């Protein structure tokens, strides 16, 4: 466990995930692919798919940059969750 935690803390990748999960812990092993998409910003999002030339435009259909943060904080169809995320209430169980 110490070796894994050391690797996690010293790695230069995974900055987004480290903001939410600051240390390696067996309690935080996640097997749900949708949660992993949110933690890593790697998933079926226009910005990510554009990096690999799967899409030509990184923007959402609404015109904003189509990454995880957009869908979690400003996308019109997820607006019911925006206030929870802006206060940090949604991350309480993660830290």
34 assigned to some structural domain: yes
4 assigned to some structural domain: yes
What is the pLDDT at residue 30?
77
90 assigned to some structural domain: no
**Using CA atoms in the order 51, 54, 59, 62, what is the torsion angle rounded to 10 degrees?**
-160
What is the pLDDT at residue 89?
52
What is the pLDDT at residue 83?
64
Q: Is the pTM of this model over 0.85?
A: no
Contact present, 87 and 53 (Cβ < 8 Å):
no
Question: Which residues of the chain are under the pLDDT cut of 70?
Answer: 83-95
pLDDT (tens digit, 9 = 90+) per residue, 8-31?
A: 788 888 887 787 778 877 777 778
- The total number of structural domains that make up the chain: 1
Place of tokens 């904080």: 73
Place of tokens 């993660």: 94
Q: In terms of Cα–Cα distance, which of 20, 23, 24 is closest to 90?
A: 20
């Amino acid at each position: 466990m110490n070796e894994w935690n050391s690797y996690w803390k010293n790695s230069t990748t995974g900055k987004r995930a480290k903001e939410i999960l600051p240390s390696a812990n067996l309690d935080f092993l996640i097997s749900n692919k949708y949660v992993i998409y949110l933690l890593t910003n790697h998933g079926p999002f226009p910005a990510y798919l554009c990096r690999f030339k799967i899409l030509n435009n990184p923007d959402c259909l609404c015109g904003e940059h189509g990454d995880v943060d957009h869908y979690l904080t400003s996308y019109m169809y997820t607006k019911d969750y925006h206030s929870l995320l802006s206060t940090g209430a949604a991350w309480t169980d993660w830290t």
